[in-house]
Amino acid sequence: MASVAEGDVGTVAELARVLRWGFEELSLNKLATSLGASEQALRLIISIFMGYPMAVFYRRYLYFKDSYLIHLFHAFTGLSIAYFNFGNQLYHSLLCVGLQFLILRLMGRTVTAVLTTFCFQMAYLLAGYYYTATGNYDIKWTMPHCVLTLKLIGLAVDYFDGGKDQNSLSSEQQKYAIRGVPSLLEVAGFSYFYGAFLVGPQFSMNHYMKLVQGQLTDIPGKIPNSTIPALKRLSLGLVYLVGYTLLSPHITEDYLLTEDYENHDFWFRCMYMLLWGKFVLYKYVTCWLVTEGVCILTGLGFNDFDEHRKAKWDACANMKVWLFETTPRFTGTIASFNINTNAWVARYVFKRLKFLGNKELSQGLSLLFLALWHGLHSGYLVCFQMEFLIVIVERKAARLIQESPTLSNLASITILQPFYYLVQQTIHWLFMGYSMTAFCLFTWDKWFKVYKSVYFLGHVFFLSLLFILPYVHKVMVPRKEKLKKAK
């Protein structure tokens, strides 16, 4: 009997060992390794795509149901996504959401509440960056927390505006001002909405409440007819995902740091930086297109109708793909990339600095805010400093061409347009790659090494133009043109 029992125990042990091995083989870690990705990256992708079945469930069972059920669903699913990706570290977001609700209730619609919110939420985010920072890009709880930080600051400002006289607000501020008093459940649903919790996009509390109230639909009283528009964005996102997956093993930022890269000819180093600078953005494009599809499917992407009474579904668009792929200008790329975050900064930072009386100073401070919001690494500051410099130079160059008869006539020669476009695109993506080098390599020892290998070309080129263009403008723009401009 003992031997039989021992045999049974041995069989069970062997079965347990086999099952454990099977689960290990099926684990996300193993799957991620086989795909050439990290486990955290795989969890992120799974979470983003899980938004679609959640949106289908919402459309099928919760649309036009009681508001509290919808808020509970959004809060529960968002928290589940947070736990799946970051485990117990979801307490960071819970703490900030809970304290934000208390700030709104205890401090009310006051400047003190806005300043407290800004200082606390940004300090918490920056402290998170400080304590979790490494020399590489890691997917940590701070990634969705930076999205949440903007949401909660915007919530406080909109709540403050809601207590002002309507006539004292701009039309944009009136659109976003919160007149009612949000409940804790409403703030939680808004904060954890599964379609935007991890990577955005940004949207206002008022827009979220319209979703909950069933107002964001192209067919009043019915579920929005948004399945096809959502699938189009999903399909486009999958195209970028496939492209990024196929190219990522061959075009990496790590190669920029190798001796092989440094030993190549200067033209090769520049061309590699150009190609990498274009390609590296595709991972962001993928995430934003997929999450935009989720938002469209729920109805959150509804943005009224165009002049032909056709529904627009771009309220949550973070990408203008055609503009992104075809624009030869830096300002065009900025206008096409991370749209809702840029709109948030314009609305809550840039325009609120109007009292400074200096547009470029307001723009510089807005970009400084963006750099700090991304993280504490020096690479972020260098990247946004380059953006500031490039935009100023590009505007000066455009003004020179427009006001100079000679350059204006030369630029209008039809047969030369393809050549101009090719030159512009080359300059555009070369220096986009130059700027993104600092953004993606983070630490000064890494980006400095790469910049040194290309002789700080971006800084030399644009700083030179910054000082040269005003003198060229004096020479090439006739006096009478300047007087006409002054009148």
For residue 409, indicate whether it is catalytic. Answer: no
Of 215, 230, 259, which residue constitutes the final position of a domain?
215
In the predicted model, residues of the chain with pLDDT beneath 70 are 1-26, 35, 480-487
pLDDT tens profile 453-465: 999 999 999 999 9
> How high is the pLDDT of residue 413?
93
Domain boundary (182, 215, 248) is at 215
Looking at the structure, tell me whether residues 332 and 414 fall in a common domain. yes
Distance CA 309, CA 299 (A): 17
Do 120 and 185 sit in the same domain of this protein? yes
Amino acid residing at 164: K
Give per-residue pLDDT as tens, 165-180.
988 999 999 999 999 9
Q: In the listed set 260, 277, 306, which residue is the last one of a domain according to the structure?
A: 306
The confidence score (pLDDT) of residue 23 equals 45
Torsion of CA 348, 81, 293, 100, to 10 degrees: -20
Which pLDDT score, from 0 to 100, does residue 32 have?
Answer: 72
Q: Is residue 2 part of a domain?
A: no
pTM: 0.91
15 vs 65: CA distance, rounded Å? 48
Are residues 47 and 195 part of one domain?
A: yes
pLDDT of the residue at 249: 85
Q: Does any domain span residue 22?
A: no
Check residue 136 and give its pLDDT.
77
Could you tell me if residue 399 is inside a domain? Answer: yes
Catalytic-residue membership of 318: no
Residues 180, 112 share a domain? yes
Q: The domain containing residue 334 runs over which residues?
A: 320-486
Q: What pLDDT is attached to residue 485?
A: 55
Joined tokens for residue 161: 């505006």
Co-location of 227 and 175 in the same domain = no
> What's the distance, Cα to Cα, between the start and end of the chain in Å?
109
Quick one: 389 and 476 in the same domain? yes
Catalytic residue among 206, 264, 303, 374: 374
Q: Are 330 and 367 within 8 A, CB to CB?
A: no
Number of domains in the chain: 3
Q: Both 74 and 180 in a single domain?
A: yes
Instruction: Verify that 208 and 230 share a domain, yes or no.
Output: no
Q: 423 and 294 in one domain? A: no
State the pLDDT at residue 180. Answer: 94
Tell me the C-alpha distance between 164 and 109, whole Å.
9
User: Does a structural domain hold residue 79?
Assistant: yes
Structural domain contains residue 314:
no
Query: Are 296 and 332 contained in the same domain?
Result: no
Domain annotation covers residue 147: yes
User: Is the Cα dihedral 151, 153, 155, 157 positive or negative?
Assistant: negative
- What's the longest Cα–Cα distance across the chain? 112
Q: Do residues 291 and 340 both lie within one domain?
A: no
Q: Is the domain of 362 the same as that of 385?
A: yes
Catalytic residue among 338, 340, 377, 428: 338
Does 243 map to a domain?
yes
User: Is 13 inside any structural domain?
Assistant: no
| Helix, strand or coil, per DSSP, at residue 311 | strand
Identity of the amino acid at 60: R
Residue-level pLDDT at 11: 55
